[in-house]
Amino acid sequence: MPERRLLARPIRAIGALIASAGATAAFTALPAQKQDPVQPITEAPKPEAVHIRLGPPGGHAPSLTPASVLGPSIVSPQAEWRLGWWQKLDGPPVQVWCDNPGVCVASVQVGPTLLTLVRNDLPGPATVWVQAACPAGPSSSDLLRIPADAAAPASPGPMFTYASSVPRDRGRGVELRPGDQAIFRFTDWGKTAAQCAAEVAASWRPAAPRAASQARKGAASVRAACSRMGAIGRGQGRLAADRLLEQAHGALLHLAFLESVTRNASGATSPGSDAAQALGAAIARAQACMGVCSAAALGLAVQVEANPREQGNLSVSVSVTNRGRRTVRNVRLWVTGPEGADLSPSVESSFGSLASGQTARASYTVEPKAPTEAGTVQGHITYYMARTPAHLRFPAVW
C-alpha cells in the first residue's frame, strides 16, 4: 500500500486568567526542578550538492577517461571486478561539465547508450545530479553504485547497488560517500529495439531449420517479432505507453515461439554450432530489450543490492516498485549466483499482484563455493502482462 504521511498540526497551549469583578486569584510558586545538563548534538556532515551536465558548457570540464575515474581495479579486463560483464566502456568520449572539481567525472557514448562515470573525491558525502538530454521515446536511466572498498584486495566479495528508473529531476539526487563510484547509464530503447530486430533477422538465415514447415513457422515468427521491434524503433516519442506495452509483449510472444521452433525442429542446425549460438544470443538480447521496454511502459522501478557477509557469503536483496497506474500480475522475484553456489531460500518469492504504489521485496543469501565476481550475482523478476510473461534481469547487461 502507498505510504501515508500524517501531518501533525501545531497545537497551541493557551493559558487564560479570567478575573471577574470582586474575585481574587492567589498563585503559589513551585520550587525549581533540577535539570540534567544539555548534551551536545553531533550531526552527520551534510552532503555537498554536485551538478553534472552533459553537452553545453558551464563549470569545470574534466578530460578524463573511464579508467582514470573508476581505476584499473574495476575497468581492466583482468581485474577481479571485470566491469565488462555489465557494460562496455570503450565508446567515444562525450563532453561533460561538473560544478565541483572535487568530483571526478567522465562520459562516453556506446551505441544507443550514454554513460557518465563519477567518483567522489571530496572529504565528505556528495549528492550528485546528472542532467542528460534523453529522447522522448522509450528510454531508461539506471545506476550501478560501487562502494569505495568494493574492489579492494581484502574485500570479502562483490558489493554494489543497482537501481533502475533513477530520478532525473532536480529535486532528487544520488548520494555518494567519500571514495564511492557510480555509473549512470541512459539508454535509448527505440534505437536498441531497431538494432535487436536487425540482429535477429541476420542471425536467423544461417541458423534456420532444414525442414520446410519448421522454417516457414520460424520465418513467420521472425517477421512478426522484427515488425513489432521495428515499430518501437520508428515510433520514438510518438508511441504512447499502452501502445509500447502492446508492441513489446507482442514481440516477446513471437520471440518465445521462435525460440521453441529452433530448439525443437527436426533437422535443425546443431545446437552447439556457431549459427545456433548466435541466434540464441540475438533472441536473448531482444527478449531483454522488450522486457525493459515493458517495465518502462508500466513504470516499474527495480533495486538490487549485494553486500558481503561472514565466511564469504553474500546478502542480496531485490525489490520492485510499481510507479505506474496498472496492476501487474503474477510477480516473482529470485536471485542467481555463480555456478555451484547455494541459495537460501532456494525458491522464488511469489506475489499475486502488484498494484500502483506497492513494492515487492525479497532477500536471499548466496553461498559461493569460491570467491565470486560481481557479474555472477543477478536479481530476476518475472510478471505477466497482456497474457505474455516478461523476464527482467538486473543489473541489466548490455
pLDDT confidence of residue 4: 40
Span 322-335, average pLDDT: 93
Cell digits for 163?
Answer: 537501481
Span 252-276, average pLDDT: 75
315 in a domain, yes or no? no
Q: Which of 377, 54, 382, 318 is nearest to 186 (CA)?
A: 54
248 in a domain, yes or no? yes
Q: Give the C-alpha separation, 161 to 145, whole Å.
A: 5
- Local confidence band at 87 (pLDDT 50, 70, 90 cut-offs): confident
233 in a domain, yes or no? yes
Q: What is the CA radius of gyration of the chain?
A: 27
Is residue 276 pLDDT above 80, yes or no? yes
**Per-residue pLDDT tens over the stretch 213-260:** 888 999 999 999 999 999 988 875 566 888 889 999 999 999 999 988
For residues 373 and 321, the answer to whether their CB atoms sit within 8 Å is no
- In degrees, rounded to 5, the angle at the alpha carbon of residue 300 between the alpha carbons of residues 238 and 157 is 130
Phi first, then psi: give them for residue 206, nearest 5 degrees.
-75, -15
Label the pairing between strands 378-385 and 174-176.
unpaired
Strand partners, 185: 115, 142
228 in a domain, yes or no? yes
* Count of domains for the chain: 1
pLDDT confidence of residue 23: 33
Neighbours of 243 (CB within 10 A): 14
Burial of 198 (0-12, 13-18, 19+ CB in 10 A): middle
pLDDT confidence of residue 91: 81
140 residue type, one letter: S
**Per-residue pLDDT tens over the stretch 155-168:** 555 578 888 876 55
Length of the chain: 398
Is residue 35 pLDDT above 60, yes or no? no
Q: Give the C-alpha separation, 175 to 182, whole Å.
A: 10
pLDDT confidence of residue 22: 34
4 in a domain, yes or no? no
- Local confidence band at 337 (pLDDT 50, 70, 90 cut-offs): confident
Question: With pLDDT > 70 as the criterion, what percentage of the chain qualifies?
Answer: 72
- In degrees, rounded to 5, the angle at the alpha carbon of residue 48 between the alpha carbons of residues 47 and 49 is 115
5 in a domain, yes or no? no
For residues 155 and 308, the answer to whether their CB atoms sit within 8 Å is yes
pLDDT confidence of residue 32: 43
pLDDT confidence of residue 341: 84
Span 358-365, average pLDDT: 93
Three-state SS letters, the chain: CCCCCCCCCCCCCCCCCCCCCCCCCCCCCCCCCCCCCCCCCCCCCCCEEEEEEECCCCCECCCCCHHHHHCHHHHCCCCCCCHHHCCCCCCCECCEEECCCCEEEEEEEECCEEEEEEEECCCCCEEEEEECCCCCCCEEEEEEEECCCCCCCCCCCCCEEEEECCCCCCCCCEEECCCCEEEEEEEEHHHHHHHHHHHHHHHHHHHCCCCHHHHHHHHHHHHHHHHHHHHHHHHHHHCCHHHHHHHHHHHHHHHHHHHHHHHHCCCCCCCCCHHHHHHHHHHHHHHHHHHHHHHHHHCEEEEEEEEECHHHCEEEEEEEEECCCCCEEEEEEEEECCCCCEEECCCCEEEEEECCCCEEEEEEEEECCCCCCHHHCEEEEEEEECCEEEEEEECCCC
**Range of lowest pLDDT (59-63, 124-128, 161-165, 383-387):** 59-63
Is residue 268 pLDDT above 50, yes or no? no
**Per-residue pLDDT tens over the stretch 179-222:** 898 888 888 888 889 999 999 999 998 888 888 888 899 999 99
Cell digits for 241?
Answer: 505507453
pLDDT confidence of residue 37: 54
Q: Residue 270 sits in which domain range?
A: 191-297
Residue with cell 562483490: 158
- Local confidence band at 367 (pLDDT 50, 70, 90 cut-offs): confident
pLDDT confidence of residue 33: 45
**Per-residue pLDDT tens over the stretch 49-66:** 888 887 655 555 556 777
pLDDT confidence of residue 60: 54
195 in a domain, yes or no? yes
For residues 92 and 169, the answer to whether their CB atoms sit within 8 Å is no
Cell digits for 34?
Answer: 533540577
Highest mean pLDDT among 9-23, 82-96, 240-254, 301-315: 240-254
282 in a domain, yes or no? yes
249 residue type, one letter: H
Is residue 116 pLDDT above 60, yes or no? yes
397 vs 234, higher pLDDT: 234
211 vs 82, higher pLDDT: 211
Label the pairing between strands 349-354 and 328-336.
antiparallel
